[in-house]
Amino acid sequence: MGGKKKPTLSQLVKRMEKEKEQQQKKAAEEKKQSKIMIVDSKILEEIKKDVMKMDCVTPYIIASKYGLKMSTALNVLRTLRDQGILYLVSKGHRTEIYVPVERAKSLGLLKA
């Protein structure tokens, strides 16, 4: 017979203000975390330098470090593989693992 009580006007106003603040915070966070879809040549050169120092490279590492989308990071790594900078060690349906060519030679994965 009763049911849930309705909130008072002041409670409604407070709730609306909180929701508005949360929406503003969420919008600000989304703005900060925007992902790069097109790779600039400067970023590509920086990735090339960093990749040469790494033991192994995955798309996730590149995407998280440079703020790229996973698909873009995967395309960058494939481009570097085609240029002869990286060697594909393992490929699954979800990810690919690369190593620099010099490291692959030292591990015996590639013949010198």
Model pTM score: 0.66
Separation in Å, CA 67 to CA 4, 55, 75, 93, 111: 47, 21, 14, 23, 34
- Domains of the chain, residue spans: 7-34, 41-107
Residues 18, 25 contacting (CB under 8 angstroms): no
Domain at 41-107: CATH code = 1.10.10.10
pLDDT, tens digit, 9 for 90 and up, residues 33-86: 656 667 788 989 999 999 999 999 999 999 999 988 999 999 999 999 999 999
pLDDT, tens digit, 9 for 90 and up, residues 89-107: 999 998 899 999 998 888 8
